[in-house]
Amino acid sequence: MDMQYDMTFLAAFWIFVLFLEKKFQCIIGFFDGVFLSFLCFCFLPVVLEGDFFWIASFLLVAGVVSSSFLEQKTNNFYYGKKCYGLLHCGGFTLAVLLWHDFDIQGSVLCLPFAFLSGFFLLLACGGILPEEKNNKKKIKLALLGVLGFLLGIAAIFPI
């Protein structure tokens, strides 16, 4: 993904979370869909390439499991509150900065990033498919997540 698209999506995400608190709860699935496409097609391929594939894969799964355990202990990362949106924005921002600023491909640095990417994956998927009781809102967030995922793919692989 081009840095220009990254910054555009991040700026929009931060504006929604910081200034449009009521609106971000409806649109967070969209931004998490973009986040998920970034993880799948930009961040994870770099982390999992190289000599440390099996160790990085194990650390990725360990990151998802430990993040899931942490999520359950913290009431689903405070779903629906402003700190929930800030956590998602912070995760997306950190992933983009790590991807742009570090040369992790094939180096030992990929190992801690693999563990961290498990946390990122849980965040992105949690925004698209939240543990809500309201089925109508779940479907809306899932559809927005798919739309964000597709837009993220279009930004990564322009036609």
Instruction: Read off the pLDDT of residues 10-52 as tens digits, 9 standing for 90 and up.
Output: 777 777 666 666 666 667 778 888 888 888 888 888 888 878 8
- Alpha carbon distance 93, 17 (integer Å): 13
Calculate ∠ Cα 112-113-117, nearest 5°.
125
Q: What is the pLDDT of residue 62?
A: 92
- Look up the domain containing 105 and give its range: 3-156
- Alpha carbon distance 1, 135 (integer Å): 33
How does pLDDT run along the chain (159 residues), one tens digit per residue? 555 666 677 777 777 666 666 666 667 778 888 888 888 888 888 888 878 889 889 999 998 898 888 777 766 555 556 777 777 778 888 888 877 777 666 667 778 888 988 888 888 887 777 666 677 777 887 888 888 888 888 888 876
Q: What is the pLDDT of residue 104?
A: 65
How many residues comprise the chain? 159
Rounding to the nearest 10 degrees, give the CA dihedral for residues 32, 37, 40, 45.
-130
Q: What is the pLDDT of residue 100?
A: 76
- Alpha carbon distance 55, 19 (integer Å): 41
> Of 157, 150, 159, 158, which Cα lies nearest the Cα of 37?
150
Residue type, 49: E
> Of 39, 38, 48, which Cα lies nearest the Cα of 114?
48
pTM score of the predicted model: 0.80
Q: What is the pLDDT of residue 3?
A: 57
> Of 112, 132, 128, which Cα lies nearest the Cα of 60?
112
Q: What is the pLDDT of residue 139?
A: 80
Q: What is the pLDDT of residue 151?
A: 85
- Alpha carbon distance 91, 115 (integer Å): 13
Q: What is the pLDDT of residue 106?
A: 61
Domains held by the chain: number: 1
